[in-house]
Amino acid sequence: MPQVRERHGWNVSGTEARHIQDEMRALVDLRDVVSVGGIRQVAGIDNGYSREGDAWIAYAAVVVVTLPDLTVSAESYAAVPVTFPYIPGLLTFREAPAIVAAYRDLDANPDVIMFDGQGYAHPRRIGIASHLGVLFGKPSIGVAKSRLVGRYDEPAQEFGAWTPVSDRGEVVGAAVRTKVGHSPLFVSPGHLITLEPALQIVLACTRPNTFLPEPTGLAHRMVAEYKARVKADQAGALR
């Protein structure tokens, strides 16, 4: 079963959350600990939400695919009440409890984890892929649909073309073309990996003419399906 290092709680104030981010950022290691050619299982993680009266529920899906065939080998889900408010830059504290719960139930031990969100390309250099990469002790990659920080030049209109995303004088990630004619995907290292291997893994997991890599693309679809199942079961129980 996957391991999670319990370093702090999630039901904290905004000020406490920023202090925790400072502590976690010091633990982020942007060195390569895996060989791209040796990776066999890649996990993708995504979140969803629903409102229940005055409360919010967070849903998480963790999907593991094998390389190079991109076949699903494991999946797990969780639904957890949201206790942290929406505060830009601190979304990890809102999303992580459901992700951690789903990850603990995963019947697999992936080599690398992709998160639908940022890694190092974050104002405080501690996006969800970096934060949870440290807690999970795994190489992790941020795979975001939009840019959060930095500047970049538009990559060429060909699969795999990429340009660096720079913020405050350092390269924090890359804008990469996964689908010709579509906006770029934003990839950043999270933990225990550097940018170029992260890009290689993302591209190896991306099917032709598809914007999202298979792990996070599947997680995006499956968390929506899971949320729909939970809500349908709840509605049925009330009849």
User: Residue 181 in 3-state DSSP?
Assistant: coil
Amino acid at 226: Y
Structure tokens at 20: 């925790």
Give the pair of three-digit tokens for residue 227.
């949320």
Of the options 3.40.190.10, 3.30.160.60, 3.30.2170.10, 3.20.20.70, the CATH number for the domain spanning 14-238: 3.30.2170.10
Domain layout of the chain by residue ranges: 14-238
d(CA 30, CA 172): 11
Q: How would residue 239 be classed by pLDDT, with cut points 50, 70 and 90?
A: low
- pLDDT tens digits along 106-164: 999 999 999 999 999 999 999 999 999 999 999 999 999 999 999 999 999 999 999 99
State the pTM of this model.
Answer: 0.95
Instruction: Check residue 184 and report its DSSP letter.
Output: P
In this structure, how many other beta carbons lie within 10 angstroms of the beta carbon of residue 33? 10
Structure confidence by residue, pLDDT tens digits, 21-54: 999 999 999 999 988 999 999 999 999 999 888 8
Report how far apart, in Å, the C-alpha atoms of 101 and of each of 3, 76, 202 are. Answer: 11, 9, 25
Contact predicate 74/66, CB 8 Å: no
| Element (DSSP H or E) covering residue 93 | helix 91-104
